Structure 1
Amino acid sequence: MFESMTSPSDLVALARANAALVRRAEADTLLIAYEWAVAHPAREDGADAAIFHSPVGFEPISGDGTLEVNEYAVAELGGALGLSTDAAKKLIGHALELAHRLPRLWARVTAGEVPVWRARLVAEAMIHAYPALPAEGVAWIDAQVAPFIEKMGRAAVDRLIERAMKLYGLAIDEDENGASDTRHVTIVSERDPFAQTMQVHAELDIADALDLEQAVAAGAAGLKAAGCEESLDVRRSLALGELARHQTALDLAGAGADEETVGRTTARRVDLHLHFTATVEPDESISFGATGQLENRQRLVLLEQVRRWVNTSHTDIRVLPVVDLNQTLETDRYEPTDRLRRQVLLRDETCVFPHCTRPSRRCDVDHVVPFDHDAAAEGRPQPGSTVTENLAPLCRGHHRLKTHTAWHLESPANGVFEWTSPHGQRFRRDRHGTSDLSPPDLHTPRTAPTPTPA
């Protein structure tokens, strides 16, 4: 293709043409998501409506007054688009928000006049606006945003939402309700995986901050007196770590508490799941690679760091048996043993549904072929044995999907899972990710879609 390009002007023209094609394709995908939602409504009581789960409850995928979508229908669209189920929920929610509550912006997006990502930015802000705007406020936002969306970012949209809340009497009076509490302690793990440190951000009560400052300063001074030659900043960080190690529990039991109560409050243990590659040398000794993985934080760790942890007098080390991922483990029981469960979680690392990335340690361990609880009593062979090759980690949502819908799961080999959707899509999932095995005829629609009016 590029051999025929004779000048930079030709490349510019090709870039513009491709950009227009991408914009049109993205708008069509948004339309498809809306049509999919229309074709798969939730029940009238909303019991099977798609939602987002959070530590404090649940959140709807789109704003008040929009169509509720059957939760089990989302995964099919996600598979077709190569998205996780949560990403597909978000796409459908944005399409519903735009079509039902922001019709002016929806018209411009579906006409290919503005990038889809800008419209989705507005939809996301509107869905999570708190308190929720009434219909008049939403219409006002739509009128303000639609003509100028090309020039607006998230900050500008947030300012408009704040103004709409004031216009429609929804602004929170901080003097009456009290200013929001901004105290927090955050351990930042999303950094360079090769970094051997982690950042800690905190905002404390003034008295607590001054107490911590005094304790850290005293600890740094004590390290210097003991011969530590590190810089002041390094000694302060070491002192903070020492505070964490020595303060095993807050004194919540009180001075008059009995020994049994105090004993229950002072126990502290931190589990680190470390993975290093071991090699058998010619002299039959075992050597370990210099770099391993800290599973809890999905980051790399140096073997030398682990040696320092082990050699620290205040560190209580608990070594778990090595699990051979190629070994077959089994039990006659329905529930897997701790060792078998750990083997499966380590083997797959994440939920094994197509495109899902939820860590396996937060998943259920499910039987690929269901366990027959009556087989032993009736003298029949067990079709769904609790064995390595018949177990798979599934997050709770995809566990329910496998149990209650027509999605079908098979495991042709240990750690390899093949899924077939109700509409005939096929996916293979293994440690390397998701592969699409769908037949070619699924890539060509039989009829051109006709958009349904919002």
Structure 2
Amino acid sequence: MAVTTSARADEVLVAARDTATVIADAQILQLVQAVQWAQLNPGDPDPEIEWGMQALELAGEGAVTIDESAVAEFALAVGMKHEAGARLIGDALELSSRLPRIWARVMSGEVAVWRARKIAQDTRTLPFDAAAAVDQRLAIVAARCSWAELDRQIDRARFEFDPEEAERRRLAEAEQRCVRVEYRGINATGQVPITGWAGLADALAFDQFLTAKAATLDPAQPLDVRRSMALGMVGTGDPAHRELVLYAHTRPGQAMVEVENTRSVVTPEQVQEWCQEAGTRVTVRPVLDLTEEMSTGAYRPTPLMKEQVRLRFPTCVFPGCERPSRGCDIDHREPYPLGETTTSNLFPLCRGHHRLKTTGGWRYIPLDHDQIVWISPTGRVHRRHIN
């Protein structure tokens, strides 16, 4: 029994090793294909065309550019979002054009693709000579050097070949203050994580503000809970002057409430609690019939039509794009005035994908209420399913 089990374990490990080899080879091949695609689609912008496709510089100085529309098609072909596809092409061009020694070791399987891509992302902002210096210094040790060593070599090259940029970056990196409300991390009870970096003086002042405001709230609540509640008083000084804006939707038989502007779901009890908090102003707006065909004779849709489009399509309708429709352009699928300003002809597109459709040779056809077919400039078909 033990011998059989041991033999089976050996088989699994051998198979796993073979699979890892296949994956590594496929990743190398994909880098090569990214370079080939860029070479087949060099950037050649026409400055006379408004909203025209741009020549994208996805790698550093000296690398070839690529047509903006071609990036979108490659990303969809390999199952990536636009931004991830652009990074893949940029990394491949950076390695092949500016880091030839490391590229050669990647092609031979001596340096893992993921490690080489990390190096390429860090050298992209270096001048050509500085990138060449990093390539020479790291080529032999790229397969095993630490990230700290990589950072040291890049900083060294930057100071040697571009001291002004090195100083500019030093000053910029010294100013990393930020505050982020992580709406995507919201849970079903409506709790949202907040992260940030602040200067010591600002942090102390904020800490003192929270502590002071917490002292005025219900002492039956734990201190940490009261400090969290005090966040809602920042900028108002008084919760009685607070306005809470929620785009909440529910349907018959649905147990949870969809909160559109945070792209999350919460319980009905949580919405009720928010609305009942002291001083919160509640505005109830009419329910929109999303199947109604609205229209106007003007180019610009009415506010009610815009709201209907955004509720019908929560995000940009380009395949893989997740930008919320409230930040998107409202596109006439059939250009106005040939295409009317009517519900069935209006779709949300983020500005980048709006430009692809307007001047990049892309077009789309809605098949039904939950599926849109996009046709690329080369005639390839991509489907977008609407949730």
Structure 1 match to 2:3: none
Structure 2 match to 1:277: 251
The change in CA–CA distance for 1:221 and 1:139 in structure 2 (over 3 A counts) is: same
Structure 1 match to 2:135: 142
Q: Is the 8 A contact 2:317 2:347 kept in 1?
A: yes
Shift of 1:429: 1.3
Query: Structure 1 vs Structure 2: percent identity of aligned residues?
Result: 37
Q: Deviations over 1:196-216 (max 9, x none)?
A: 322333444555444433333
Q: Is the 8 A contact 2:44 2:55 kept in 1?
A: no
Shift of 1:229: 0.7
User: Do residues 304 (structure 1) and 269 (structure 2) align?
Assistant: yes
Q: Is the 8 A contact 1:348 1:430 kept in 2?
A: no
Structure 2 match to 1:357: 322
Cα distance in 2, alignment partners of residues 108 and 409 from structure 1: 42
Alignment coverage as a number of residue pairs: 375
User: Do residues 407 (structure 1) and 381 (structure 2) align?
Assistant: no
Q: Is the 8 A contact 2:325 2:349 kept in 1?
A: yes
Structure 1 match to 2:54: 49
Which structure 2 residue ranges, 5 or more long, are not aligned?
A: 1-5
Structure 1 match to 2:59: 62
Q: Deviations over 1:217-260 (max 9, x none)?
A: 23222224xxx411122122223323444369xxxxxxxxxxxx
* Counterpart selection for 1:238 from 229, 248, 253: 229
Shift of 1:192: 5.8
Cα distance in 2, alignment partners of residues 182 and 86 from structure 1: 23
Q: Is the 8 A contact 1:137 1:165 kept in 2?
A: yes
Cα distance in 2, alignment partners of residues 203 and 407 from structure 1: 42
Structure 2 match to 1:32: 33
Shift of 1:101: 0.6
Q: Deviations over 1:331-374 (max 9, x none)?
A: 333222222222222222221122222222221111222222xx
Q: Is the 8 A contact 1:410 1:418 kept in 2?
A: yes
* Counterpart selection for 2:119 from 110, 118, 122: 122
* Counterpart selection for 1:395 from 342, 347, 350: 350
Letter in 1 for 2:374: W
Structure 1 match to 2:101: 104
SS at match of 1:181: coil
Shift of 1:328: 2.8
Cα distance in 1, alignment partners of residues 140 and 189 from structure 2: 45
Q: Which has the larger radius of gyration?
A: 1
Within 5 Å, which residues of 2 pair with 1:27-426? 27-43=28-44, 48-51=53-56, 60-127=57-124, 129=125, 133-152=126-145, 154-168=147-161, 170=163, 172=166, 180-191=174-185, 193-194=187-188, 196-224=190-218, 228-246=219-237, 270-279=244-253, 289=255, 291-372=256-337, 383-426=338-381
Letter in 2 for 1:40: N
Shift of 1:106: 0.9
SS at match of 2:357: helix
Cα distance in 2, alignment partners of residues 204 and 181 from structure 1: 9
Q: Is the 8 A contact 1:94 1:123 kept in 2?
A: yes
The change in CA–CA distance for 1:313 and 1:334 in structure 2 (over 3 A counts) is: same
RMSD, matched Cα = 3.0
Q: Deviations over 1:418-446 (max 9, x none)?
A: 122222211221214xxxxxxxxxxxxxx
SS at match of 1:219: helix
The change in CA–CA distance for 1:194 and 1:155 in structure 2 (over 3 A counts) is: farther
Shift of 1:44: 7.7
Q: Which has the higher contact order (CA 8 A, sep 6+)?
A: 2
Higher fraction of helix: 2
The change in CA–CA distance for 1:210 and 1:115 in structure 2 (over 3 A counts) is: closer
Shift of 1:277: 2.9
SS at match of 1:354: coil
Cα distance in 2, alignment partners of residues 298 and 354 from structure 1: 18
Q: Under a length normalisation based on structure 1, what TM-score does the superposition of the two structures give? A: 0.74
Q: Deviations over 1:64-104 (max 9, x none)?
A: 11111111221221222122222221111111111111001
Which structure 1 residue ranges, 5 or more long, are not aligned?
A: 52-59, 249-266, 280-287, 373-382, 433-454
Shift of 1:270: 4.8
Structure 2 match to 1:255: none
Q: Is the 8 A contact 1:352 1:392 kept in 2?
A: yes
